Structure 1
Amino acid sequence: MNHENSHEKNHENNLIIHTQGALGIITLDRPSHLNALSLEMIQGIQAQFEAWADQPNVQAILINSNSPKAFSAGGDIRYLYDAYKNNTSNYRDYFVAEYKMLSTIRQYPKPVLTFLDGYVLGGGFGLAQACHILVSSEKSRFAMPETAIGFFPDVGATHFLSRLDDIGVYFAITGEQMSSSDALYLDLIDYHVPSERLAELLEAISYKPELDQLQIEQIISRFITDPASSDLRALTAVIHQHFSPATIEEIESSLAKEQDPLHQAWTEKILNVLQQRSSIAKQTSLKLQHVGRSLSLEQCMQLERNLQDIWFEHGDLMEGVRALLIDKDKQPKWQSHNPTLIKIIDDLTAA
C-alpha cells in the first residue's frame, strides 16, 4: 500500500489536499486569517468531497488545520462586507456555497472526521458540527460570536445550539467561548485527544488499509484522555435561571437582580457583554433558539438562509463589521428599533 501520497497545495483556495493511506485529508491553510473561510476555500472543499465520493481508495475524509492557533475563526466577514458595499450579489453566493458544503459533508456516505486544535468559531464551528466524528484537543475554544458583529448564529446553530435549551440561548446571544471540556460535556464534540498526540492519531488512522466509522472510532478510543473539568458544569443552574425567560429584557433584568454573591461577578460580566450587543441581533438570536427547538436541521438551515439574505439590508451586520474590522473604532451604532425587520422575522419564524 502506498502510505504517503503527494501533497497538493493550492495557493488560490488556501487548502492542502492529499491522501494518506485510505484517508483523504483536507487541510485548511490560511493561517494569516486564522483560517477564516473564503468563498474559494468553501468551493474547494465542496469540489474535493465531490471528487472523492466515487474514489474507492479514499474511504474516509479528515478536515484539519495548518494553523497552530485555529481550526477556523469563521466566515470571511470582510469579504461579505465588501461584496455588499460594492453592490454585488456575491454575499448571497457565499452563503449558498457554504450551506451546500455543509449539507454535502453532513450527508456524505463516507466517514468525515475533524481534528480541532485551536479556535473553532462561527462558520468554523458550523463546519466542525457538519463532520461525523469530532476530535478536539485541550487547546480548542468554541463560540458562535455573531451577535458581537450585529449578526445571529447561523451555519446550523439554530439546530445544534437550540438542542441545548437555555445553555444554547446563553451561547447564542452572548457569543461567549467554551472550552473543549465544556464542548465535551455538552456533547458538541465526540472525543478529547491531547494536542501533542493528534499527529500520532493521524498516523494510526492512515495506516489502516480499510476504514469505516467503527474502526476509526476504535482507533481514536486508544488516544482519548479525560479533559480538565468543565467550568460550564458549575454554571448550568445559574445559566438556566437567567436564560430561560422569553425576552431579552427579562434575561437582562434577571441577570441584574442576581442576589447570590457567588454568582454576582459572573452575572455582572455577562450583563455587560449583552448590553454591548446589537438589540436586533440579540432578539433574533433568541427567537431562532426558541423556534429551532421544534424544527428539523433542514428547516433550521432554510430559516437561517432566508434571514441571511435580508439581514444585509435590514440588520446590524454592516455596522458591526465597520466598527470592529474596518474603522476599528469599536463603537458600533446599533439600531435602536427596526419594526420592519421584526415583522419579517416574525413572519419567517411563524411559517
Structure 2
Amino acid sequence: MSTSPEIVEPTVLARIEGAVGRLTLNRPRAINALDLPMIGLIDEALDAWEHDPAVTVVVLDGAGERGLCAGGDVRSLYDEVVAGRPGDTAAFFLAEYRLNARLAEYPKPIVTLADGITMGGGIGLASHAAIRVVTERSKLAMPETRIGFTPDVGGTWLLGRAPGHLGEYLGVTGTTMDAADAVYAGFADHLVPSDRLDELRAALAGGGDASAIVAELAIAPGVSRLEAARAWVDETFSADTLGEVAERLRARAEPAASTALDLMGELAPTGMAVTFEAVRRARDLRDLRADLAQEYGLVMWFAHTQPDLVEGIRAQLVDKTRDPHWNPAALADVDRATIEAAFASVPALPLWE
C-alpha cells in the first residue's frame, strides 16, 4: 500500500490578502527561529511587493501560539563555529542585518505583530518596522548575554534610545518586557488584544491608512514595570563601569535591584561588558545602519575569538545543563583592552556594499 508523500510547507508563507502582503514565519515548533533560507524567502516577497500597486501594506506575523520569533537559529551558529566555518557564520549575519535595515527603510508601511515570544533575532524583525504591535501575551527581550553573546540585529540601537539607562539594564541582564514595557522602552507602538488580531488583519486587507487602522483597535498598554523602576535603574546603570553598577545595585533596597545583581552573577562577564559599552556607543551613532555595522564587528569577534559563545549555547541549548563555565568567570577579570579589541574588530566581509 503506497502512502502519499508528506507535504512540507515553506518556512515563510507569503501571500496577498486584499491590500496586504502577508508574511508568516512558519516554524512553529521552533517558535519560528530565523535561519538563512527564511531570510531569503522574506527578501523575495519584499522584492515582489515593493513595486506592486495592489500591495499597500505588509504584515509580518508568526505561525503557532507561542510567538512571533524566538530569535536566530543559534544552534546552527554553534555548529558553524565548532566546525570552523566562518564563511557560513558571516553569510547569515550579513543577510540578517541587511534584512533588518530593509525592514526599517521599506517604502511601504510594515506592520509587525509581536504576539507571544519575540526575542533576539525576532526583535530585529519586529521592532524596526513602521508600525509595531504587541499583545497581552507578548514577551520581548534581548537575552544574548545568557549565551555568552551580545545584543545584535539593531538591538543596541533600540536599547540606546530607551528612556534613561534602561538600555544598559535591559541589554546587560536580558530582562523580559511585557507589552507595556515594550511600548514604554520604544520597542513597540501599540497594544492590540490577541483576540482582535484577525480583525486587525482583515481591516488592513481592506485598504486605508494602516496607522489609523491599528490605532483604532489598540488599547492603552497599562502601567510599565520598567517605568516604575526608573529611579533605581537610572541611579545604578548610569555608573561608568559595570563593576560600579554592581556596587550600586548592592546598596539598593529594592528587591528588583537585588535580582538584577544576582542575575549578573550568572551571566557571561565578557558579554555583559561589551554590551554595556555597545549600548552607550550606539547613542552616538548616526543611524540604524551604522549601529548594525558596529554590531556586525562585535558578533564576528565573538564568533571567532570568544569561547563563551560556544560554551553558552552548549549549556543552554545543546547539552541543556544550564551550567556555563565562562572565561573569564568574573566581571572584574574583563579588562579594558578586551573591550577595546571587540570594537576594533574589522570583519573580512563588509556589511554594506
Fold equivalence (TM over 0.5): yes
Partner of 1:5: none
Partner of 1:6: none
Using the TM superposition, give the Cα deviation of residue 11 of structure 1 relative to its aligned residue in structure 2, in angstroms. Answer: 4.1
Using the TM superposition, give the Cα deviation of residue 55 of structure 1 relative to its aligned residue in structure 2, in angstroms. Answer: 1.6
Using the TM superposition, give the Cα deviation of residue 346 of structure 1 relative to its aligned residue in structure 2, in angstroms. Answer: 4.9
Residue 274 (structure 1) aligned to one of 240, 254, 264: 264
Read off the aligned partner of 2:83 and give its amino acid letter: N
Using the TM superposition, give the Cα deviation of residue 13 of structure 1 relative to its aligned residue in structure 2, in angstroms. Answer: 4.5
Per-residue CA deviations over 1:50-88 (Å, capped at 9, x if unaligned) read 121122211211101112111111110001111122222
In structure 2, how many angstroms separate the alpha carbons of the residues matched to 1:222 and 1:66? 24
In structure 2, how many angstroms separate the alpha carbons of the residues matched to 1:68 and 1:233? 28
Read off the aligned partner of 1:274 and give its amino acid letter: M
Contact 1:78 1:321 in 2 (8 A): yes
Contact 1:147 1:277 in 2 (8 A): yes
Contact 1:205 1:216 in 2 (8 A): yes
In structure 2, how many angstroms separate the alpha carbons of the residues matched to 1:141 and 1:321? 21
Contact 1:182 1:231 in 2 (8 A): yes
Contact 1:193 1:224 in 2 (8 A): yes
Using the TM superposition, give the Cα deviation of residue 177 of structure 1 relative to its aligned residue in structure 2, in angstroms. Answer: 0.5
Contact 2:190 2:221 in 1 (8 A): no
Q: How many residues align?
A: 331
Per-residue CA deviations over 1:247-302 (Å, capped at 9, x if unaligned) read 111111111111x3xx1x22221111111011110100000011111112222111
Partner of 1:46: 43
Uncovered stretches (5+) of structure 1, i.e. residues with no partner: 1-9
Read off the aligned partner of 1:150 and give its amino acid letter: G
Contact 2:69 2:122 in 1 (8 A): yes
Partner of 1:293: 283
Partner of 2:240: 246
Partner of 1:61: 58
1:237 is the counterpart of 2:227: no
In structure 2, how many angstroms separate the alpha carbons of the residues matched to 1:12 and 1:96? 26
Tell me the secondary structure at the aligned position of residue 153 of structure 1: coil
Moved more, 49-58 or 237-246: 49-58
Alignment of 1:65-214 (within 5 A): 65-88=62-85, 89-164=87-162, 165-208=164-207, 211=208
Uncovered stretches (5+) of structure 2, i.e. residues with no partner: 1-6, 347-353
Pair 1:277–1:48, CA change in 2 (3 A):
same
Tell me the secondary structure at the aligned position of residue 151 of structure 2: coil
Per-residue CA deviations over 1:299-333 (Å, capped at 9, x if unaligned) read 21111111111211222211100111111111111
Tell me the secondary structure at the aligned position of residue 61 of structure 1: strand
Tell me the secondary structure at the aligned position of residue 32 of structure 2: coil
In structure 1, how many angstroms separate the alpha carbons of the residues matched to 2:10 and 2:298? 28
In structure 2, how many angstroms separate the alpha carbons of the residues matched to 1:178 and 1:342? 27
In structure 2, how many angstroms separate the alpha carbons of the residues matched to 1:66 and 1:187? 25
Partner of 1:4: none
Tell me the secondary structure at the aligned position of residue 329 of structure 1: coil
Alignment of 1:18-29 (within 5 A): 18-29=15-26
In structure 1, how many angstroms separate the alpha carbons of the residues matched to 2:33 and 2:176? 17
Partner of 1:326: 318
Read off the aligned partner of 2:292 and give its amino acid letter: M
Moved more, 332-341 or 224-233: 332-341
Partner of 1:31: 28
Pair 1:42–1:67, CA change in 2 (3 A):
same
Using the TM superposition, give the Cα deviation of residue 200 of structure 1 relative to its aligned residue in structure 2, in angstroms. Answer: 0.7
In structure 2, how many angstroms separate the alpha carbons of the residues matched to 1:329 and 1:12? 33
In structure 2, how many angstroms separate the alpha carbons of the residues matched to 1:116 and 1:321? 24
Read off the aligned partner of 2:274 and give its amino acid letter: T
Per-residue CA deviations over 1:97-130 (Å, capped at 9, x if unaligned) read 1011112211111111111210110110111112
Read off the aligned partner of 2:324 and give its amino acid letter: P
> Segments of 4+ in structure 1 off by > 6 A?
none
In structure 2, how many angstroms separate the alpha carbons of the residues matched to 1:197 and 1:181? 17
Pair 1:11–1:111, CA change in 2 (3 A):
farther
Identity %: 33
Tell me the secondary structure at the aligned position of residue 127 of structure 2: helix
Using the TM superposition, give the Cα deviation of residue 338 of structure 1 relative to its aligned residue in structure 2, in angstroms. Answer: 6.3
Moved more, 154-163 or 181-190: 181-190
In structure 2, how many angstroms separate the alpha carbons of the residues matched to 1:348 and 1:96? 15
Read off the aligned partner of 2:326 and give its amino acid letter: W
In structure 2, how many angstroms separate the alpha carbons of the residues matched to 1:318 and 1:232? 31
Pair 1:287–1:229, CA change in 2 (3 A):
same
In structure 1, how many angstroms separate the alpha carbons of the residues matched to 2:63 and 2:35? 15
Using the TM superposition, give the Cα deviation of residue 41 of structure 1 relative to its aligned residue in structure 2, in angstroms. Answer: 0.9
